[in-house]
Amino acid sequence: MASHFARILSTKRHVGILSLVGAGSLTAGIFLSRDQHVNAGSQVRRLYPASAEYPDLRKHNNCMASHLTPGVYAKLCDKATPNGFTLDNAIQTGVDNPGHPFIKTVGMVAGDEESYEVFADLFDPVIKERHNGYDPRAMTHPTDLESSKVRSGMFDERYVLSSRVRTGRSIRGLSLPPACTRAERREVERVVVDALAGLGGDLSGHYYSLTQMTEKEQQQLIDDHFLFDKPVSPLLTCAGMARDWPDARGIWHNNEKTFLIWINEEDHTRVISMEKGGNMKRVFERFCRGLKEVERLITEKGWEFMWNERLGYILTCPSNLGTGLRAGVHIKLPNLSKDPRFPKILENLRLQKRGTGGVDTAAVGSTFDISNLDRLGQSEVQLVQTVIDGVNYLIECEKKLEKGQDIRVPPPLNQQK
């Protein structure tokens, strides 16, 4: 069969340059060593010198703009990954979006796994800024999906409304959403859906294609708050992530609706474990178990996830490198949220707050989405434990304020014993 013939048989040190033809079938592959593939960096033909092409970043406030000098641009602008992704492709979203009202955005994306090597002179300092000083040239990233190591994890449900852990995974050998062809995107869908069909027990479920779902299925997914829409944020659209929408996009979830996988949104896959209430330990246990099982099924079919020891799991946005993990809760903090010390408390606990509708939304009724700030340089277990300990501290502060008692700002997390 064509799909069997075309399967990529690779390891974490080898990957194929793919020839993609038709509705998602890979019909040919030329296999090179991982080192050859990453360092290939082909040349881009230019009619004008780099100085004439350098973007105007004088009013920009994102990580890319902070580190892209004329010299770095001149060094990298004529390079391309083996898939043809260029520096200008990588930085376009940061050029088109000077800043963000709430956070300093990254300002660049990867089009494939090789982007992080070919354009390392820019990606590395961006990664270092975004990930709290993590040096991708000198440090290695730990991975730990042993959920039994997590302590506590049952929150007071008078305050915590829901708990969630999510990450992303990318299929090695296929371009990422900013650069993928239609055939590659369809191949991601095929590979992932075929693998998910092997899940059993409480993880067994069903896939809903955005192009094929019925109106009833669509309404149910909307009611469950599972359905993701076509990206409208200019940060995503300027990076090319809304192309051909909704072709080859879809949502898979288990029958209990506690384990979800989004396909071909911002990343190849987004893996989510969630439930109402405050049992973060159970949510994380399901997350680890499901993620391991998905990786096993993917590997059995001759594929694997993008990963290396310096950057961990490879995803589209540099902000999600490493674990790609965001463990969070929806929590009611009516008193603490009005305290001027609240932002500093979050900062010292390495937590971030968002509105319950996401990064671009405000809090509703003093209910916030609180999650880990870090992704890279710490393991999944470490980050979830940070959230558990931090959220418990926030609840303790809220209870004290209810009683009219004083609270204190904790010392920065990395200074705590």
- Is pLDDT of 23 > 80? no
pLDDT-derived band at 12 (thresholds 50, 70, 90) equals very low
- Give 331-382 pLDDT, tens digit per residue: 999 999 999 999 999 999 999 998 765 555 555 678 999 999 999 999 999 9
- Is pLDDT of 280 > 80? yes
Q: What's the pLDDT score for residue 261?
A: 96
Q: What's the pLDDT score for residue 356?
A: 65
- Give 116-139 pLDDT, tens digit per residue: 999 999 999 999 999 999 999 999
Q: What's the pLDDT score for residue 332?
A: 97
Q: What's the pLDDT score for residue 216?
A: 87
Q: How high is the mean pLDDT of the chain?
A: 88
pLDDT-derived band at 275 (thresholds 50, 70, 90) equals very high
CA dihedral 151, 278, 414, 166 (to 10 degrees): 100
User: What interhelical angle do 87-96 and 120-130 show, nearest 10?
Assistant: 40
- Is pLDDT of 30 > 50? no
Find which of 37-51, 92-106, 142-156, 203-217 is predicted with most confidence, using mean pLDDT.
Answer: 142-156
Pairwise pLDDT comparison (19 vs 398), residue with the higher score: 398
Q: What's the pLDDT score for residue 16?
A: 38
Number of residues in the chain: 417
- Is pLDDT of 42 > 90? no
- Is pLDDT of 214 > 90? no
Pick the closest to residue 251 from 189, 302, 202 (CA basis): 189
Q: Are 328 and 134 in contact (CB under 8 A)?
A: no
User: What interhelical angle do 380-402 and 280-300 show, nearest 10?
Assistant: 160
- Give 48-77 pLDDT, tens digit per residue: 999 999 999 999 999 999 999 999 999 999
Q: What's the pLDDT score for residue 165?
A: 98
Q: What's the pLDDT score for residue 221?
A: 82
Q: What's the pLDDT score for residue 3?
A: 39
Instruction: Report which residue type is found at 5.
Output: F
Q: What percent of the chain has pLDDT over 70?
A: 86
Q: What percent of the chain has pLDDT over 90?
A: 77
Please tell me the least confidently modeled range out of 31-40, 41-50, 244-253.
31-40
Question: Tokens 């937590």 label which residue?
Answer: 351
- Is pLDDT of 90 > 70? yes
Q: Are 323 and 371 in contact (CB under 8 A)?
A: no
273 token code pair = 């474990």
Q: What is the mean pLDDT of residues 141-147?
A: 97
Global pTM value: 0.86
Please tell me the least confidently modeled range out of 4-13, 88-97, 98-107.
4-13
- Give 215-259 pLDDT, tens digit per residue: 888 888 878 778 777 888 899 999 999 999 999 999 999 999 999
Please tell me the least confidently modeled range out of 20-29, 216-225, 378-387.
20-29
List, in order, residues 6 or more apart from 143 with CB less than 8 Å away: 312, 313, 323, 379, 380
CA-to-CA distance for 10 and 307, rounded, in angstroms? 12
